[in-house]
Every structure is written in C-alpha cells, then in structure tokens.
Structure 1
C-alpha cells in the first residue's frame, strides 16, 4: 500500500504544478474580496473545488446567504456524481470498503481525468493506495497555493502587474496536459466521444447544455470501456 501511495504522489506532480498557481489566484481573489487568509485556506481545505470556490467567495462578497450559496455550489459540483460512478467501478475491490467514501472527497476534475486514464492499468489491489497518493499530492498543493496567494499575492501583483493575467492560462494548460495523458494511456474513446458530443451540442444549442452532455457521453464511454476491459480480464 505504501509503495502505491508514493507512486500516486509522484504521479500527482503534474496536477500539483498546475494547482499551485490556480490556488494562488484563489487566495489572492479571496483576500481582495474581503476575506482573511485563514478563511481562504479554510474554504480550500473544506470545499476543495476550484471554480466553485471562486463562485463561493463572489457570492459571499455580494452578500449572498445560505439559500443562494449552497444550491449554487451544489449544482456546480453535480458533475462529481458522474465522476464518482466511474471511479467506484475501478475501486469495487478496494479493502477495507470504508476507504472509498474517503477517496470521494479528493475527486476533483483533474484528479478524475488522471484517475480515469490510470486506474484501469493498475491491479485492483493497487488502485486505492495509488489514488490516495494522487489526491494527497493535489490537495497539499491546493492548500499551499491558497496560503501563498492569500499571504503574498497582493504584494507580488503590485510588483509584477502581468502576474494576475498570466495565472489565467494555468488551468487550461493543465487540462490540456491531462487530456494528452488520457490519450497516451489508451482512453482516447472517452475523450473523443466527449469532445464530439460537446462540439455537436455547441453547434446546435447553448453551452450550458452542450458541456454537461459531453461530460455524460465521456463518462458513459469510460464506464463501457471499463466493463469491456474487465470482461477481457475475466476471459
């Protein structure tokens, strides 16, 4: 188990490298909107969901109450229901079973993309440990980046005005690297299926319909591929 956790930590480096600057920008934004550094770090530690955290602090800064904030954040994170279903298939043999709910907390977009590509290539007994290491590395980077942004972000932006604009390109670059990794690990069907459905949806309708449709298509293809791989292993 320890070996797999360390292996997961090593594989988390690409995600961590992308998370630090994004979390840095969140910590900076939270402080600029009137939240203190401890609150910014607490939000990252509890919520651990990039886009949702930016929306959360914006709503709080605008005076939003629980009846506005909670449903909004829940809807933004509803896609994790799909993520959990896909990963649960890969962790069906994880022991003890109680580790699976714990691993659900760290299932971010980037962790899911990496896990969907890598978990099917690991032996069932190795998957939970590897995923725990991957999530630990990503989580630690997110907390550290938030703290740095909250404590030092304002001073750095004053000295380097272009820094805030440059940070906007980090997350798209991270997603691109993860998409390439999915192709390398042979998960191209889900990737191309999701892309195709999303593009078709954008051509025929609004983005808020096309993007969830693409996510559903990719998740469905990933589940189908996992079942095909398991059937092949049984034979």
Structure 2
C-alpha cells in the first residue's frame, strides 16, 4: 500500500469522530436559518470544526461580519503553531507538494495524529501520507455536513440525548487520539497544558486560555528535553 493510501486508512479514527460532529453542524446551521448551500460552503472553505458552530451563532445573532471574522480568527490562532511543529518531519526529504496543500487540512485532530505517527514513517513517505490523512478527515467532514443538510429539513429539534452525545464526541475523539500517541510519553506536557489552561480560563476567554496553555505546555516540554540532550552530548 502506498503512503497516500496508508494515510487515508490512518484517518479512520478522525473520520469516525468527524462524521457525527459535522452532521450536528449541518443540523445546527439549518435550524439557525442558513441555506443548505451556505452550510456546505462553510464546511468546504472554513473546515474549522467547533469554530464553524461559533461562526453560525455569531452571524445569526446579529454580530457584524468584521467582529465575527476576528472572533473566529482568534479561536483558530493556535493553528499557526501546527505547521512549524510538523515542518521538520514533513520536509526531511525536501519539498514535494505545495505548502498550502499540506497545511489546509491541518486541524487539531489531524495534527495530533500526524505528530504521533510521522516519525514512524520513512521521510520520503511522510508528505504523501499526510495528504491522505488530511483528505480522509476532510472527506468525512464534508460527508457529515451533507448528511446534516439532507436530513435536517425533516428534524425540527434534536432529541436531548442525541444533542448531549454530539457534544461529547469531540472530547472523546481527543481522548482516543491521545491514547494512540501514548499518554506516558507526553504526560508532563499534558499536565502543564491542562493546569495552565484551567487556571487561565478563570480570567480569559477559553480560546485564549487554550492557546496560551498549549504554548506553555510545549515550552515546558522543550525545557525538559534540553538538559537531557546536553547530558547525552
């Protein structure tokens, strides 16, 4: 199996979580008054998971376009860290594909999966594998949105149990991905990130707290590695 198809197969766990979440987004957007075409266009162009729900909520609540754009950009500011973090592994054998193509589908879940598996691949296979991983996730998101707008017109309101289940799917997906990359290996980073994020949420919006928590968690990981690397030399 070539690297692209292996990446496509490796996206199964992400795709399984994206389908119901995107289905819920399709339903939510229709119930908020968006047309099926607009809903599909948002998923096709934005492809930003939870930020799409915020985008719809802000637009339909009367928030201005500029304010909505700024809020969504701030929520997704953490994505600026993902590309540089993966770049050394992806470019180990030089640049084979355009950088925007490698970056477009780099969601939280795709990043978590790639960060845990890229070093297990031959350097020449990494970019093709990454493209397959992104395509599988993107295809699942689009398929889920299409299902949501197709069946959304027949559903007036989601049952309470189904709505609660849809809200839990995204956290559950992150737990699955965390188990895949290994908890013990990143335990210190996870603890620092969780504690800092929890503390900052008491004084900052959640998206700011999450971004700063990730930055400080990553910094703590680098600080712990430097003494080890010095001793090894």
| TM-score of the pair, normalised by structure 1 | 0.84
Match of 2:102 in 1: 103
- Residues 22-171 of structure 1: pairs in structure 2 closer than 5 A: 22-155=21-154, 162-171=161-170
Whether the 8 Å CA contact 2:192–2:217 is kept in 1: the answer is: no
CA RMSD of aligned residues (A): 2.8
Gaps of 5+ in 1: none
What CA distance in whole angstroms lies between the structure 2 residues aligned with 1:157 and 1:223? Answer: 50
What CA distance in whole angstroms lies between the structure 2 residues aligned with 1:160 and 1:198? Answer: 32
Rate the CA distance shift 1:103–1:219 in 2: closer, same or farther, 3 A: farther
Deviation at 1:122, TM superposition (A): 1.2
| TM-score of the pair, normalised by structure 2 | 0.85
Number of residues paired by the alignment? 226
Rate the CA distance shift 1:60–1:99 in 2: closer, same or farther, 3 A: same
Rate the CA distance shift 1:227–1:196 in 2: closer, same or farther, 3 A: closer
Gaps of 5+ in 2: none
Q: Which range moved further: 152-161 or 4-13?
A: 152-161
What CA distance in whole angstroms lies between the structure 1 residues aligned with 2:127 and 2:218? Answer: 20
Match of 1:181 in 2: 180
Match of 1:172 in 2: 171
What CA distance in whole angstroms lies between the structure 2 residues aligned with 1:82 and 1:175? Answer: 18
Q: Secondary structure at the match of 1:169?
A: helix
